[in-house]
Amino acid sequence: MNTKIALVVVIVAALSACEQTKTQEYYMSHPDELAVDQAECKQLNKNTFNCNEAAKAAAILKKK
């Protein structure tokens, strides 16, 4: 019984820690969010999927 409760707690904690993933295309369509997320990535020195996708989108938009 305690093992099942512990497993449920771990699963809930893991799911709540997940952030919504945003693609390069998403950021290119939402430049306001791109700026906010890039600032957060730089400020917190984050290297997440979203930070990488935001960087790619920013580089493409900068070339245009």
CA distance linking residue 56 with residue 30, whole number of Å: 14
Query: Which one-letter amino acid corresponds to residue 48?
Result: T
CA distance linking residue 48 with residue 63, whole number of Å: 23
Q: Flag whether 27 is in a domain.
A: yes
Q: Flag whether 10 is in a domain.
A: no
More confident: 17 or 44: 44
pLDDT of residue 19: 76
Q: Flag whether 2 is in a domain.
A: no
The number of folded domains in the chain is: 1
Q: pLDDT-derived band of residue 45, with 50, 70 and 90 as boundaries?
A: very high
The domain containing residue 45 runs over which residues?
21-64
pLDDT for residue 51 is more than 80: yes
The C-alpha angle 33, 49, 32, rounded to 5 degrees, equals 5
Q: What is the mean pLDDT of the chain?
A: 87
Q: Flag whether 16 is in a domain.
A: no
Q: Flag whether 52 is in a domain.
A: yes
Q: Flag whether 12 is in a domain.
A: no
More confident: 28 or 1: 28
What is the mean predicted confidence (pLDDT) over 35-45?
A: 96
